[in-house]
Structure 1
């Protein structure tokens, strides 16, 4: 009969063996991702050529000073207003119907195209031609939309005024 195992001896790899295993893993990863690593090295080379790496290096070396300056700038009253305005703009954009905005922007773009084309005409616009233009359905549609926007804005401003008082 065999002798019972009473002691288990753990064999720890030597530092040289650990280093050899690490190098083997690294070479394997390089071989698997060679194309990506070459692209990454190309990007790093371009960043170095443009001086961005030098700037990043300087920022990282002075990160405490840079962070202090950033915090001071963020605490300026104008920065608080910018952040609040930015949040209000995003809320406003989120409340709008994208299809309506697309339609409105298409109309504005087309109007700008017509205005710049007319600008190169060298023809003066008379009051008579403006009056005739008011009869056109396109002009009536635009004016109706603008008046509706003004009415809606006025209603909102009036509500705010009444709410404050």
Structure 2
């Protein structure tokens, strides 16, 4: 039977040994990733040749000035109006049923396809044909839909804005 362990010796490595181990690990990693490192070096060389690295370095050195210009441009009235409009449109879209939007989008796509076919035929519509087309169920459905949209918009325009 073996003798029991009564003491544990802790081996402390010196700073030099730690550095040597790190260098060995780094050498191993470089050897494993040689192809990737070569590509990175080629890309870096190309960026240097076209002056992109100099431009990037200049941008980093002037970051405060660039930030000031960007903030100034973003705070201009047309940009803030655009951002407010985007947020309002996004808010409106969140209130609409996705199935309705999908149906409307598909209907518009089909309508555009038929419109393209009509353009290719180069057919003119007379006033009488226009009046008769109201009896076409598909056209009547689209007209009724459009009229209902206009009615709803009119009601919405009558109420004060929030």
TM normalised by structure 1 equals 0.73
Q: How does 1:1-20 map to 2 (within 5 A)?
A: 11=12, 13-14=14-15, 16-20=16-20
Stretches of structure 1 lacking an aligned partner (at least 5 in a row): none
Q: What is aligned with 1:45?
A: 43
Residue 24 to residue 144, structure 1, CA distance change in 2 (3 Å): farther
Q: CA–CA distance in 1 between the matches of 2:51 and 2:109?
A: 38
Q: CA–CA distance in 2 between the matches of 1:116 and 1:100?
A: 24
How much has 1:124 moved relative to structure 2? Answer: 1.2
How much has 1:102 moved relative to structure 2? Answer: 0.6
Residue by residue over 1:118-163, the C-alpha shift from the partner in whole angstroms, topping out at 9 and shown as x without a partner, is 11212211112211211111011101111111111111111126x8
Q: CA–CA distance in 2 between the matches of 1:52 and 1:87?
A: 39
Residue 89 to residue 30, structure 1, CA distance change in 2 (3 Å): farther
Stretches of structure 2 lacking an aligned partner (at least 5 in a row): 1-6
How much has 1:12 moved relative to structure 2? Answer: 5.6
Is residue 2:122 matched to residue 1:134?
Answer: no
TM normalised by structure 2 equals 0.74
Residue by residue over 1:30-88, the C-alpha shift from the partner in whole angstroms, topping out at 9 and shown as x without a partner, is 688x59x939x56x939949x69545444223211110101111221222211111111
Residue by residue over 1:10-39, the C-alpha shift from the partner in whole angstroms, topping out at 9 and shown as x without a partner, is 94622x32322323444566688x59x939
Q: CA RMSD in A?
A: 3.4
Q: What is aligned with 2:22?
A: 22
Of 22-31 and 86-95, more deviation after overlay is shown by: 22-31
Q: What is aligned with 2:120?
A: 120
Q: What is aligned with 1:107?
A: 107
How much has 1:89 moved relative to structure 2? Answer: 1.4
**Aligned length in residues:** 151
Q: CA–CA distance in 2 between the matches of 1:129 and 1:52?
A: 66
Q: CA–CA distance in 2 between the matches of 1:126 and 1:92?
A: 39
